[in-house]
Amino acid sequence: MASEGFANDATANDATTGIVSAMAAPATTSVRADGGKPRKAKKGHVRHVQLLIVLVFVGAMYYSFQSNVLSKSTAVPMQIGQLVRYQFETDQQAIPQLRQLYATEMPITTAYVAHYESEGANLNIWVGEAAADDVMRLLDDLTNKIESGENGTYTDLKKLDVSGMTVYAVKRDKEPQFYYQSGKKFVWIGIKGDTGSANQLLVDAMRAVTGSHDGM
């Protein structure tokens, strides 16, 4: 076994010596068959190509950042009352959540889901857009199912008036939930924890999501 170890060491030394010799050997220059001077790469041309590749890469990164982060994040409110947004999803990630929430296959053109928090309080908002008539039918159907008891997940249905806009209030596990329509938008607001006045937080959320609302 010891002899094998020495043999392996010798082989490794030979390989190392070969590598060092190869590194130490001067670089050879290929000679043209016609006896002319060896060809040299045009440094300026290579640099231009490298610079072009870098510019294309940077441009692609900026476009991706602008379209996927800047434009979408500005459409989602950063803050609701004293609650600050800590997470949100848009379109591809948000639409399936709205379909599950409303139990619908209605075509939804755009959507977002946003989550907010403060000390001891959480607020979640689901916002989607679709044809106004489809939205109206969706909310009417949902309201009828809750009112009749067919949808037993939500209870204590109430109809509120917030600055002339109809808002439905329900409870899920004693926690307040609100939903309403504003043109093509349909909005669901869920509140958890110690939020103080749920009605005031509703008004703040509506103001941030669908425009100015004076109060209830």
In degrees rounded to 5, what are phi and psi of residue 211? 110, -175
Instruction: Report the candidate in 175, 157, 159 with the shortest Cα–Cα distance to residue 167.
Output: 159
Residue 160 sits in the same domain as residue 57: no
Domain that holds residue 132: 78-210
Q: Are strands 110-118 and 175-182 parallel, antiparallel or unpaired?
A: unpaired
- Is 199 within a domain? yes
Q: What's the pTM value of the predicted model, to 2 decimals?
A: 0.64
Give the model confidence (pLDDT) of 117-134 as tens digits: 998 889 999 999 999 999
Which stretches in the chain have pLDDT values below 70? 1-46, 48-49, 54-74, 195-196, 212-216
- Are 162 and 206 a contacting pair, CB within 8 Å? yes
- 17 CA to centre of own chain: 55
Give the model confidence (pLDDT) of 7-44 as tens digits: 344 444 444 444 334 444 444 444 444 555 555 555 66
Residue 131 sits in the same domain as residue 85: yes
Q: What is the mean pLDDT of the chain?
A: 77
Domain count, the chain: 2
